[in-house]
């Protein structure tokens, strides 16, 4: 993926951050006063410790304090049928700040009661978690399969798309998107690397406090060998009061000149609200299905303390296995999250569960 960023010296970037923070706070006050559109800001700060195992089994360690991400988000109505979104990010996982990244920047337009258009730079509709920002992720890191197949930022492209509500007895919609194909999974040397994405979503409410959502995704584009790479995804979410279970599977098939390569993986997690301000979460994800030389998996446990809907402290432990001999490493993280403004203002550890 070609990352859009603005480079500058740290002093200028600090000034930019302060200005954007001031604008965000002003927007929040305005929104609170009259309910209009507002600016938002979200910050993620991380303390981590990793205990590594080298090929001989000797333990080593790595630790540090990081700015995981700082995001400034602007959303406003252009008119009654059009809306614009601009997102600016300070880079992830850095101890210092030397650039500003341009995140999602797009416009949506309601063409009719059933059709909506989106154009600009956006996270494509593939799977369930690809379109989640860092502060919206249910865990401190993205799913293993999503990161290994499409990179740490997922599939974020410049393009155009259409979404239509499908007339069925249940809630359903279908989206079609064409993007520039900048993700490394599809980029090719001729620059004729358009990516075609189709996503379908179906949702039911079998009970007064239970919801079920099923999704299917397909993406295809030319790869560096000028042949085609196809990605298929399926996801299932079951949610009730204070609890959610979600599973997602992604498989990629690459048609190369000398071989056809297939790989994929899955992620599955369960979230449960144990008290008014506490959530517990467990996850298992793996990469390398069908099993091949790139196989690895991860088990994760997370505990969240949410004193307010706009802030949380999360404690996460992960055990990685990186080969068939079960060698790997342990990770321990503490994350501080805070937000101002309407974008991501509520804790997203469990959709629909407020602190």
For 239-248, write each residue's pLDDT tens digit: 998 899 999 9
Banded model confidence at residue 211, pLDDT cuts 50, 70, 90 = very high
Determine the straight-line distance between the first and last CA of the chain, rounded to whole angstroms: 36
Of 211, 186, 213, 185, whose CA–CA distance to 199 is shortest? 213
Q: Summarize pLDDT for 84-135 with one digit per residue, the tens.
A: 999 988 766 555 556 778 889 999 999 998 999 999 999 999 999 998 888 8
C-alpha angle 320-132-2 in degrees, rounded to nearest 5: 85
Angle at 144 between CA 141 and CA 149, to 5 degrees: 120
DSSP 94: B
Residue showing tokens 């989640």: 132
Q: What's the pLDDT at 226?
A: 79
pLDDT of residue 332: 94
Q: What is the mean pLDDT of residues 303-309?
A: 92
Going by pLDDT thresholds of 50, 70 and 90, the confidence category of residue 324 is low
Three-class DSSP category at 167: coil
Q: Which has more pLDDT, 7 or 177?
A: 177
Residue 344's pLDDT band (cuts 50, 70, 90):
low
Is residue 198 within 8 Å of residue 217, measured between CB atoms?
yes
- Averaged pLDDT, 250-255: 92
Is the predicted pLDDT of residue 342 greater than 80, yes or no? no
Domain boundaries, given as residue ranges, for the chain: 5-340
How many other C-beta atoms can be found within 10 angstroms of the C-beta atom of residue 162?
15
Which positions ≥6 away from 62 have C-beta within 8 Å? 49, 50, 52
CB-based burial label for 333 (10 Å; 0-12, 13-18, 19+): buried
pLDDT at 161 over 90: yes
pLDDT at position 261 is: 86
Query: For 59-68, 156-165, 235-244, 285-294, which range has the lowest pLDDT when averaged over its residues?
Result: 59-68
Query: Is pLDDT larger for residue 226 or for residue 286?
Result: 286
The answer, yes or no, to whether residue 33 has pLDDT greater than 50, is: no
Residue 8 banded pLDDT, cuts 50, 70, 90: very low
What is the percent of the chain with per-residue pLDDT over 90, rounded to a whole number? 48
CA 196 – CA 4 distance, rounded (Å) = 21
* 121, 106 Cβ separation under 8 angstroms: yes
Give residue 293's pLDDT.
57
Predicted structure pTM score: 0.82
Which of the 8 DSSP states describes residue 91? P
Q: How far is CA 77 from CA 3, 36, 60, in A?
A: 27, 9, 52
Average predicted confidence (pLDDT) for the chain: 82
The SS3 call for residue 155 is coil
Per-residue pLDDT at 200: 97
Backbone phi, psi, residue 150, to 5°: -125, 0
pLDDT category at 179 given cuts 50, 70, 90 is very high
List, for residues 53-77, the tens digit of each pLDDT value: 665 544 455 688 888 888 998 998 8
Helix (H) or strand (E) holding 30: helix 10-34
Q: For the residues of 260-308, what is the DSSP string, one character each?
A: EEEEEEEEEEEEEEEETTEEEEEEEEEE-SS--TT-EEEEEEEEEEEEE
> Residue 28 — pLDDT band, cuts 50, 70, 90?
very low
Query: Which two structure tokens, joined as six digits, stand for 309?
Result: 């809907």
Helix or strand holding residue 252 (H, E): strand 243-255
Angle in degrees, CA 78, 81, 85, rounded to 5: 45
User: What's the mean pLDDT in 171-188?
Assistant: 90
> Can you state the percent helix, strand and coil of the chain, rounding each to 5?
10, 55, 35
Q: What is the CATH number of domain 5-340?
A: 2.40.160.10
Predicted local confidence at residue 31, as pLDDT: 44
Mean pLDDT to the nearest integer, 214-218: 97
Quote the pLDDT of residue 21: 47
CB-based contact 111:119 (threshold 8 Å): no
């Amino acid at each position: 993926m070609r990352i859009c960023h603005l480079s500058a010296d740290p002093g200028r970037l600090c000034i930019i951050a302060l200005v954007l923070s001031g604008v965000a706070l002003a927007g929040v006050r305005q929104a609170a006063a009259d309910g209009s559109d507002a600016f938002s800001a979200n910050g993620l700060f991380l303390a981590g410790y990793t205990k590594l195992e080298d090929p001989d089994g000797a333990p080593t360690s790595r630790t540090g304090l990081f700015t995981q991400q700082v995001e400034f988000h602007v959303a406003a109505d252009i008119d009654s049928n059009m809306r614009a979104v601009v997102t600016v990010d300070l880079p992830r996982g850095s101890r210092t700040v030397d650039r500003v990244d341009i995140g999602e920047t797009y416009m949506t337009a309601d063409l009719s009661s059933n059709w909506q258009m989106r154009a600009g730079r956006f996270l494509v509709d593939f799977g369930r978690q690809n379109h989640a920002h860092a502060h919206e992720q249910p865990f401190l890191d993205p799913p293993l399969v999503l990161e290994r197949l499409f990179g740490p930022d997922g599939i974020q492209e410049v393009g155009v798309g259409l979404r239509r509500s499908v007339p069925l007895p249940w809630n359903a919609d279908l989206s079609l998107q064409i993007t520039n194909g900048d993700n490394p999974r599809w980029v090719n040397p001729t620059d004729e690397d358009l990516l075609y994405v189709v996503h379908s979503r179906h949702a039911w409410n079998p009970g007064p406090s239970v919801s079920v959502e099923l999704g299917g995704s397909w993406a295809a584009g030319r790869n560096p060998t000028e042949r085609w790479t196809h990605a298929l995804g399926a996801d299932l979410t079951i949610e009730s009061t204070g609890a959610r279970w979600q599973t997602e599977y992604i498989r990629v098939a690459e048609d190369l000149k000398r071989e056809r390569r297939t790989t994929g993986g899955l992620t599955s997690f369960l979230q449960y609200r144990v008290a008014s301000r506490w959530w517990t979460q467990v996850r298992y994800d793996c990469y390398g299905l069908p099993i091949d030389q790139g196989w690895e998996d991860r088990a994760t446990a997370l505990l969240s303390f949410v004193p307010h809907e706009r802030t949380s402290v999360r404690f996460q432990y992960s055990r990685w296995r990186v080969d068939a001999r079960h060698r790997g490493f342990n990770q321990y993280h503490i994350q501080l999250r805070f937000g101002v403004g309407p974008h991501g203002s509520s804790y997203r550890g469990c959709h629909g569960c407020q602190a």
